[in-house]
Structure 1
Amino acid sequence: MKTIKFREYDSYGLINGRSGMKYSNRLDGQTVTKFTFAPYHESQGWVGSENDHELMQYTGVNDQDGQEIYEGDVVDLINKTGEKERAIVKFEHGCFTPVFKFPSARIKVVGNVFQ
């Protein structure tokens, strides 16, 4: 079973001196995701419902260095001709693009859209 993981970008927390990126996951076999960040803010509703929060899911793939790849990551890809391409990981049409097209040995996380 795939490990379900999320991260939250909290621009409000970043403004107030706390880390802007927080990570959480669901353990194998559980039906409930355990967040290490608060998924609900009394004044704003669910995380992701306001402009200062963004939820991103783990793709299930690690890059060539073993780093987990999430939605919103900026990745360098080595295509079949050996040329480097830069792309943003997105969930589109039921899959994480462009991750599903490349073996992990040809993917390198170089940042994320919030840096």
Structure 2
Amino acid sequence: MFPFTNYYDKLYTMLQILINYATLIAFLTISVDLMFQISRIHKRKSSLDISIKGTLVRLFGAAIFTLKFFIIKDFYLILGQLLFMGILMVYIISVLYYSKNNQGLQK
């Protein structure tokens, strides 16, 4: 065997751990952005400038990623994606709620 095999295995494991935590941080940053958007919608009590179709397309794409992450059984990707999907659902509910409230204002 190669003399550095154990070293490369440890390095690979360390890189995997780093990538896992970086992935979670990436999902958190995306989720924080959505939380800012949710806050903005609630403060303005309006979602007129937000595309409901675009938001639903984002949800569909996120659902496909979630399915893929379950298939590959990556705990960190699943955890991050479920966090993102939960916040995305709150975002969609906020957009739909305020779009219904604003329909009377558009007339």
Larger radius of gyration: 2
Provide TM-score, normalisation by structure 2: 0.25
- Name the structure where helix makes up a greater proportion of residues: 2
- Name the structure where strand makes up a greater proportion of residues: 1
Provide TM-score, normalisation by structure 1: 0.24
Larger RCO (CA within 8 A; separation ≥ 6): 2
